[in-house]
Structure 1
């Protein structure tokens, strides 16, 4: 069975005789969707209702056949535990976000082979997120698979094209709603962004849906779970429909998917919820009882995570999965004795285990011995292998080599940066020799204003704190220390915060981070930030530094995204431009 034949849009050539939707590419949204019943599992009747397995899992981007085999295992387990429907996340068959893998000519054939693997599963309906490719284009879709057949499919209608999302680059827009009958219920399908719009859920209700299933690949941002819950409550209550919401989990490049899959009843009350950041098979039952849709209730809900706790967990998962997926067995971090590297070390140990983390101190003739002692004490506390590698002679060698050229010039930032770049070179040499991924520890505040040295402290394969402002570094360090009786981060590093910000722009980090957050995360302009109560000259200096240092950030290693506007796809500015901060006058 070819994908092209399955995806024909002619009304007289539908994917199967049991297709429960009108998939004609008509733009007439009033066209009534077709519905037919799927065959019922043996020894089941409509009164038994839906026994749903929600597969909150991590599917590897690009491993199409491996993901299909994983789905087979999960579906078989769910069926054996009594489920008659299993739901997988958005684009789970290919992994999310697949980016330009969607443009590979061989993708369609791999998807076809993957469905042949899925067709081996019997006696359970599978809702599979996948890329649908045919003569009409490429679609972000969900397939209804049952007993060796694709019974129907739905194409995502609202394609996000903001922040980290580039779906209009890859996908064609779906046109019609899809519903299917199963276990006495009419099930409507949506995909991620569709639920954030009002009309798709409303139209499904009008077409007779009893419940909505929405598959998602929604990446973590701080406070995002509260937004999801509010959205589900609103959509469910305004349409008087239960909603089943499944989300991906795990790290992919700089993104983390935090799970938190849910089932809400028709009033918007959460009936089932999966834990955050963990793979979990969540089971729920939905049935029609005396013309009312009844949703089973979970006996014990997962512990809610506070803002700092969820951020820390996201950083742990992001680092863990990047290292694992990249094929590294261990990581190396230059431990300076400062707070940033101390927090990064703690996150690395929590992500990978102490036996896979190596720390090295690289003191120069200018290094305070106390910082090396602090680094060693923390490494011992966390049971991490620690080495001291002095760099005096390397620095002297570079100075000596450059002396004939530099002899008639005054000392400046160049000499300071040489020390940082020697450290970067040493770390990369150790990485090459022993196969460890180098972790850098620059925070978002430093990267914003350019208080970082290219090929120096920016050297590495992953920046643990890339999207973490300095004020958040203190919060996260305090949080991690509260988890154990004996602190894992030297307390004096937290209790004796730095009084000067990078390059001495302001007298404290809180003010600087507020200006940066307004400019970077909230897109405030120059005048708006001044109106928020900040000094004009300071604002101009800070914003100028942010704009001027885009070239550094473009060369920085990736790091876990936790905010709405990370220094990555969220925020894309030209390296060279003549945009003025103040509105020009004619």
Structure 2
């Protein structure tokens, strides 16, 4: 029996549905494993299909293609290391989240996720499988969060645990993964490999950050977050069993950098996987559009971004100047399309219908919708993805105009509260990384960060005319959304009862807008769209 085993692990970025392309990525990693003398290549969960596949994973034609691709991959890689790869897999009439072991030109083991899930059927716990005389156990996806599967594998002879995942990023998620995996190695006394995808898919961003633990929870290898990587892990067997030799220990950035990287990766992969190379956005001189422009410049390169000023009669000169200065600092193209004429034309058209009424939010929304019309026209004409710029605070309370400033294809700030928008701007001014394609230095004018937020849809308007101060609003929203707290619980924490009830009403009433909103990357444990869905019509009222 072998006393040394080399495992190659690969955290890579598959494209959902691109089975030949994802198989080619697997072959490339397999060739590196072969050159390094590894006995096995391990790839993350759902690598072949991409993730999350949703109901595509139950499509019969797609499942047949997955099986054919796996069989071809096994044949093409018959002479060399074994491969473990995740894919949706049909067994009889049931569809499973599977991790398939390929050796000698065929599938020699299939590990089916015990817990099933929203799309996949549950399965009995799969036992260990052998590669070159070593018995390996696999806890697939969420099966690794519970002791049951790992303990069963240890009891049935597994000597090393492999935990392939397709786990999306959110703040503090990496620490949670480590905590769960430490529990598994403490319970089983076995070394463990946790392996995650990289790359963005609509609202999910897979952050990689794969790692290896020895018994006792000692970390022996840590791969970087948000970055493709292939590493070779050597295991040796001694008197106390198998242990991993030390490997690379990539640092893990703080939450501000990880959030920023997730927004950039989410945007870049959404565009690349959708066939877009250029983007357009309205640049108002406010902090939200400024941050979106900076994210887009860092992701796409300044040469692939168009910014548009859309001044109305209420636009301040300082905001127009701030937008121009922002474009100059980033080195992006700036167009100016005034909406004064179109707004006057619409107002005249509606004059008879609106006779005898007082101007109100209706007239303000017309301005926003005219901006959406012009931006969508540029997007359609030039094939540029229109980026929307509403932060999570605004998305939560509906402080945005449907078919207006919500019009577009992707929103990098969808899960970033307003207070975090300000801090992220400060972070970017103080930090630059090699992967950023935008310029170094203070790219966001401090005047934009410092001025009171305003939609500038009427004279002297500020956001706080309609909303509580953002520090208060965001604290209430975090309780309502991230922690599912009741009105009474928030009032007990010291928040003004009328303010809490007003925010609750705004969040409830705005659900219909959110269900029509563009996707955006998940950053928090509870993101709109990805994690939180409320019925559009329901009669329940919080008694608090």
Interval of TM-score (by shorter of Structure 1 and Structure 2): over 0.9
CA distance in structure 2 between the partners assigned to 1:81 and 1:489 by the alignment = 46
1:38 match: none
Q: State the Cα distance separating 1:464 from its structure 2 match.
A: 1.5
CA distance in structure 2 between the partners assigned to 1:150 and 1:185 by the alignment = 17
Q: How does 1:161-180 map to 2 (within 5 A)?
A: 167-168=117-118, 170-180=119-129
More displaced stretch, 497-506 vs 126-135: 497-506
- Which is greater in Rg? 1
- Specify which of 86, 91, 99 is matched with residue 129 of structure 1: 86
2:349 is the alignment partner of 1:401: yes
CA distance in structure 2 between the partners assigned to 1:326 and 1:492 by the alignment = 35
1:156 match: 113
Q: Deviations over 1:237-267 (max 9, x none)?
A: 2221100111000000111000001111111
2:56 is the alignment partner of 1:101: yes
CA distance in structure 1 between the partners assigned to 2:44 and 2:30 by the alignment = 13
1:533 match: 494
CA distance in structure 1 between the partners assigned to 2:241 and 2:209 by the alignment = 26
Q: Deviations over 1:361-407 (max 9, x none)?
A: 11112111111111111111111111111111111111111112112
2:522 is the alignment partner of 1:565: no
2:435 match: none
Q: Deviations over 1:470-494 (max 9, x none)?
A: 0110111111000156311111222
2:99 is the alignment partner of 1:142: yes
Q: How does 1:458-469 map to 2 (within 5 A)?
A: 458-469=406-417
CA distance in structure 2 between the partners assigned to 1:407 and 1:322 by the alignment = 46
Q: Deviations over 1:123-159 (max 9, x none)?
A: 1010111111121411111111012011111110123
CA distance in structure 2 between the partners assigned to 1:112 and 1:539 by the alignment = 53
1:8 match: none
1:186 match: 135
Q: How does 1:43-442 map to 2 (within 5 A)?
A: 46-47=2-3, 49-119=4-74, 120-121=76-77, 122-159=79-116, 167-168=117-118, 170-298=119-247, 300-442=248-390
Q: Deviations over 1:486-529 (max 9, x none)?
A: 311111222345496555332x2111101011001110011111
- Structure 1 regions of 5+ residues with no counterpart? 1-44, 160-166
- Specify which of 504, 511, 514 is matched with residue 466 of structure 2: 504
2:516 match: 555
Residues 127 and 156, structure 2, Cα contact 8 Å, conserved in 1: no
Q: State the Cα distance separating 1:53 from its structure 2 match.
A: 1.0
1:36 match: none
CA distance in structure 2 between the partners assigned to 1:82 and 1:477 by the alignment = 46
Residues 125 and 149, structure 2, Cα contact 8 Å, conserved in 1: no
1:578 match: 539
Matched residue pairs, number? 528
2:400 is the alignment partner of 1:452: yes
Residues 467 and 561, structure 1, Cα contact 8 Å, conserved in 2: yes
Q: What is the DSSP-based 3-state SS (H/G/I as helix, E as strand, rest coil) of the residue aligned with 2:220?
A: strand
Q: State the Cα distance separating 1:179 from its structure 2 match.
A: 0.6
- Specify which of 424, 438, 447 is matched with residue 492 of structure 1: 447
CA distance in structure 2 between the partners assigned to 1:495 and 1:154 by the alignment = 55
Q: State the Cα distance separating 1:178 from its structure 2 match.
A: 1.8
Q: State the Cα distance separating 1:535 from its structure 2 match.
A: 1.3
- Structure 2 regions of 5+ residues with no counterpart? 433-439, 455-461
Q: What is the DSSP-based 3-state SS (H/G/I as helix, E as strand, rest coil) of the residue aligned with 1:106?
A: helix
Q: State the Cα distance separating 1:58 from its structure 2 match.
A: 1.0
